[in-house]
């Protein structure tokens, strides 16, 4: 149980384009999902908290107009990187909080974004 999927696993795009990443909880409902960014050999940096049916909460320093988050259902959250630039290249990982286990977060497999 507690499986989280993420799509795509890898994406390469040109500078200036937008990229959408999907995060799904497959076997549980998640009113809250989280988006992280991880640079090589570094820690997971929380970008934003995605709440089903309401606006996302962004961490300080994260541009909400650049990283658009939509949490349309209890099993799906999307992160759209708008007008991507090479410095946005990173590993993006989502996690979902299991309602049945209030604290535990389960992570998706991550999306490797490369912006040329």
Partner 1 sequence: GENVEQHPSTLSVQEGDSAVIKCTYSDSASNYFPWYKQELGKRPQLIIDIRSNVGEKKDQRIAVTLNKTAKHFSLHITETQPEDSAVYFCAAGGGAGNQFYFGTGTSLTVIP
Between the alpha carbon of residue 52 and those of residues 18, 70, 105, the distances in Å are 23, 8, 16
Q: Is 106 in the site for partner 1 (CB under 8 A)?
A: yes
Q: Is 77 in the site for partner 1 (CB under 8 A)?
A: no
Q: Is 60 in the site for partner 1 (CB under 8 A)?
A: yes
Query: Alpha-carbon torsion 84, 49, 44, 62, what sign?
Result: positive
Q: For residues 64 and 85, which CB has a smaller minimum distance to partner 1 in the complex?
A: 64
Give the length of the chain: 116
Stretch that binds partner 1, among 18-26, 70-78, 80-88, 97-105 (CB under 8 A): 97-105
Between the alpha carbon of residue 75 and those of residues 50, 68, 106, the distances in Å are 11, 17, 13
Per-residue contact flags (x/-) with partner 1 for residues 26 to 55, judged by CB under 8 A? ------x-x------xxxxxx--x------
């Amino acid at each position: 149980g507690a499986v989280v999927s993420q799509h795509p696993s890898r994406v390469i795009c040109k500078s200036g384009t937008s990229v959408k990443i999907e995060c799904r909880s497959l076997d549980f409902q998640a009113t809250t999902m989280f988006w992280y960014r991880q640079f090589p050999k570094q820690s997971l940096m929380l970008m934003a908290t995605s709440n089903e049916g309401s606006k996302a909460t962004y961490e300080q320093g994260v541009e909400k107009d650049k990283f658009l988050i939509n949490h349309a259902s209890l099993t799906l959250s999307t992160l759209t990187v708008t007008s991507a630039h090479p410095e946005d290249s990173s590993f993006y990982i989502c996690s979902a909080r299991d309602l049945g286990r209030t604290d535990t977060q389960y992570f998706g497999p991550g999306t490797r974004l490369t912006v040329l």
